[in-house]
Amino acid sequence: MAGTDNNSLDGLVGGDYAAGFVTDIEADTLPPGLDEDVVRFISARKDEPEWLTQWRLDAYHGWLDMVEPRWGQVQFPAIDYQSISYYSAPSGDQPKTLDEVDPEILATYEKLGIPLHEQAALAGVAETQQRPPVAVDAVFDSVSIGTTFKETLREAGVIFCSFAEAVHDHPDLVRKYLGSVVPRGDNFFAALNSAVFSDGSFVYVPENTRCPMELSTYFRINERNTGQFERTLIIAERGAYVSYLEGCTAPMRDENQLHAAVVELIALDDAEIKYSTVQNWYPGDEDGRGGIYNFVTKRGVCRGDRSKISWTQVETGSAITWKYPSVVLRGDDSVGQFYSVALTNNHQQADTGTKMVHLGKNTRSTIISKGISAGQSSNAYRGLVRMNPGAEKARNYTQCDSLLIGEKCAAHTFPYIESRRPDGIVEHEATTSRVSDDQLFLCRQRGIDPEKAVSMIVNGFCKDVFRELPMEFAVEAGKLLEVSLEGAVG
């Protein structure tokens, strides 16, 4: 008796967004609007060298001639780019150490569960042994308010600092690599970011160095009517290894806020970069009011032979997610990976996936995408696998699965596969399924309540991706799914 009636699955919606509070602090915020002066202001405020100011202005002029992309399977009203404030930072001088940071801001991160005190983090280690410390760069609206474990990292030769600091302290590296993976004119949002980016993280891991701890950046939007435009640049020299985590939250507000970031990764010979994201921007309310527009360009280039770049993302937040973390496999024998869980509920929309561009010989890529749609949401996987003529014996494997919860949601799969190699192998599979009444009944018959049952089933569905996350992130991701699904089943 496989029931087709789905009433039992409707109605568990409206979970609490725990990160939805506002921090009440004084902020210096630019009035809304965008022109050359705004670009110059941001650059001047950060005391940037002339070349960078010019770089931003070129990007700005290029952007003026571009149009907003509308090919995604997402719908949103026209964005008024003149109504957004492009810079907001806590008032006063930039704190030099974490001790100088406004206690309200420190409390914010504490509330979000982000350890900003090295002592506290270290004490945590002693207690549980299994939790290695994580170095954190905390970005609050447009600025980085502090980075932990800098000294420890410096001893290992690893540079981990805010982007603004990197511009001052490591100008040659920034100049060499900025825009080398995502050019200024790459796309509309990347161009906008290149013009107005405010802060972000910079990571440099020298030759044959294994970064001694996980690095992470925690992005927080706090101010009203602002956009967040951060820029992250990670360079792994020959034989280097780094694992980097990124988390994001924002207060609950009725209006939409724009987040347009650019992330560039560069891996040289034998280097490996593992980049994990748990994206939990405010998703809007049950009726689709408010929430973040998350329009992000992330790309890595495996420049060296045998290099490896791996993207893992858990996307549960944002009103709209539009991002395709990609890998350009230039070096021979290089490896690209993309593991993704994207969950949409209520009126959320996601159009996300990856691009794997095979240029080098024996390059390999793996794509595992798990999309979960609940409520009236829309969830699309969009991907590109391209085997260029030089990509001798390149291989790709792609698995895209969708899980549908509720009768009004939508799930889409748009994989582009292009091959110009006679010896390349590309395999793509996609399936859709739903949380079946049978599965739910089995769990309930064994005494498990429906909410727990659904979250267990969804977590099981995502297992192949969670496995790729660092341990504590995997636990957090599982909990996040549970919260995001609240109300999706009844």
Partner 1 sequence: MGLVDAASVIESLEAFEPRYLPWLDRRDTLALLKDGALPRPNSEAWKYTDPVPFFDPQDDVSDRRDTTTIPATPSHTVGFESDTVRELVTTYINQAVDQRRYPLAAISYLKIDCGVVIHVKPGDKTESIELGELDGQFQRVLVIVEAEARLELIETTTGSNRIVECFVAPGAKLRHRRLQPPGTGVDYNLVAINIAENGSYSLSQYSTGARLRRNDISVNILGTGAEAELTGAWQLNEALHLDNQISVNHMFAGGTSRQHFRGNVNDRAKSIFNGRIYIAPNAQQTNATLTNRNLVVSSEAEVYTKPELEIYANDVVCSHGATIGQLDTDALFYFQSRGIGEADARAILIKGFLNEVVSHADGRTLLGIET
Partner 2 sequence: MNLLEISDLAVSVGNQPILRGIDLNVCAGEVHAIMGPNGSGKSTLANVIAGREDYQIDRGRIALEGQEITTLSPEERAHRGLFLAFQYPIEIPGVSNMEFLKAAVDSQARAAGDPEITAVDFMQMARIAAEQLGLNPEFLKRGVNEGFSGGEKKRNEILQMLILKPKVSILDETDSGLDIDALRIVANGISAFTNTTNAVVLVTHYQRLLDHIEPDFVHVIANGSIVRSGDHSLALELEEKGYSWLEND
| Given 170, 289, 412, 444, the residue binding partner 1 (CB under 8 A) | 412
Q: What is the Cα–Cα distance from 173 to 236, expressed in whole angstroms?
A: 12
Question: How is residue 313 written in tokens?
Answer: 């993302």
Q: How do beta strands 134-140 and 143-147 pair?
A: antiparallel
- CB-based contact 179:266 (threshold 8 Å): no
Per DSSP, the residues of 235-292 read EE-TT-EEEEEEEEE----SSEEEE--EEEEEE-TT-EEEEEEEE------TTS-SEE
Other beta carbons within 10 angstroms of residue 71's beta carbon come to 8
Q: How far is CA 250 from CA 227, 258, 399, 490, in A?
A: 11, 11, 32, 28
Q: Any contact of residue 417 with partner 1 (CB under 8 A)?
A: yes
| Given 71, 77, 127, 155, the residue binding partner 1 (CB under 8 A) | 71
Q: What is the Cα–Cα distance from 437 to 285, expressed in whole angstroms?
A: 27
Q: Any contact of residue 410 with partner 1 (CB under 8 A)?
A: yes
How many residues interact with partner 1 (rule CB under 8 A)?
37
Q: Any contact of residue 404 with partner 1 (CB under 8 A)?
A: yes
Q: Which stretch binds partner 1 (CB under 8 A): 79-87, 193-201, 215-223, 422-430?
A: 422-430
Q: Any contact of residue 439 with partner 1 (CB under 8 A)?
A: no
Q: Determine the Cα angle at 293 with ends 291 and 299, to 5°.
A: 140
Judge residue 273's burial from the number of C-beta atoms within 10 Å of its C-beta, 0-12 exposed, 13-18 middle, 19 or more buried: buried
Q: Any contact of residue 415 with partner 1 (CB under 8 A)?
A: yes
Among partner 2, partner 1, none, what does residue 238 contact (CB within 5–8 Å per kind)?
none
Q: Which stretch binds partner 1 (CB under 8 A): 18-26, 29-37, 337-345, 406-414?
A: 406-414
Among partner 2, partner 1, none, what does residue 452 contact (CB within 5–8 Å per kind)?
partner 2
Q: Any contact of residue 438 with partner 1 (CB under 8 A)?
A: no
Question: How is residue 142 written in tokens?
Answer: 């447009």
Q: Which stretch binds partner 1 (CB under 8 A): 40-48, 125-133, 350-358, 409-417?
A: 409-417
- CB-based contact 408:8 (threshold 8 Å): no
What sign for the dihedral angle of Cα 435, 437, 443, 447?
positive
Q: Which amino acid, one-letter code, is at 80? A: D
Q: Any contact of residue 414 with partner 1 (CB under 8 A)?
A: yes
Closest approach of partner 1 to the CB of residue 6, in Å: 7
Which parts of 224-263 interact with partner 1 (CB under 8 A)?
none
Chain residues that interact with partner 2, rule: CB under 8 A? 1, 3, 5, 8, 436-439, 441-450, 452, 456-457, 459-464
Q: Any contact of residue 105 with partner 1 (CB under 8 A)?
A: no
Closest approach of partner 1 to the CB of residue 358, in Å: 12
Q: How far is CA 181 from CA 129, 155, 170, 394, in A?
A: 38, 28, 18, 21
Q: Which amino acid, one-letter code, is at 229? A: F
- CB-based contact 303:272 (threshold 8 Å): no
Phi-psi region of 125 (alpha: psi -120 to 50; beta: other; left: phi over 0): alpha
Q: How far is CA 89 from CA 25, 162, 227, 258, 280, in A?
A: 10, 14, 12, 16, 21
Q: Which amino acid, one-letter code, is at 78? A: A
When the beta carbons of 138 and 342 are compared against partner 1, the nearer one is 342
Q: What is the Cα–Cα distance from 314 to 247, expressed in whole angstroms?
A: 10
Closest approach of partner 1 to the CB of residue 187, in Å: 13
When the beta carbons of 180 and 366 are compared against partner 2, the nearer one is 366
Closest approach of partner 1 to the CB of residue 325, in Å: 20
Closest approach of partner 1 to the CB of residue 388, in Å: 11
Closest approach of partner 1 to the CB of residue 286, in Å: 19
Q: Any contact of residue 413 with partner 1 (CB under 8 A)?
A: yes
Among partner 2, partner 1, none, what does residue 464 contact (CB within 5–8 Å per kind)?
partner 2
When the beta carbons of 54 and 433 are compared against partner 2, the nearer one is 433
Q: Any contact of residue 68 with partner 1 (CB under 8 A)?
A: no
Q: Which stretch binds partner 1 (CB under 8 A): 20-28, 133-141, 295-303, 408-416?
A: 408-416
When the beta carbons of 234 and 385 are compared against partner 1, the nearer one is 385
Closest approach of partner 2 to the CB of residue 412, in Å: 21
* Nearest one of 111, 97, 106 to 149, comparing CA atoms: 97
Closest approach of partner 1 to the CB of residue 4, in Å: 6
Closest approach of partner 1 to the CB of residue 95, in Å: 47
- The C-alpha torsion from 310 through 381 and 200 to 293, rounded to 10°, is -170
Q: Determine the Cα angle at 163 with ends 143 and 53, to 5°.
A: 90
Q: Any contact of residue 420 with partner 1 (CB under 8 A)?
A: yes
Q: Any contact of residue 430 with partner 1 (CB under 8 A)?
A: yes
123 by DSSP, 3-state: which? Answer: helix
When the beta carbons of 73 and 439 are compared against partner 2, the nearer one is 439
Among partner 2, partner 1, none, what does residue 104 contact (CB within 5–8 Å per kind)?
none
The binding site for partner 1 (CB under 8 A) comprises: 4, 6, 71, 387, 389, 402, 404-434
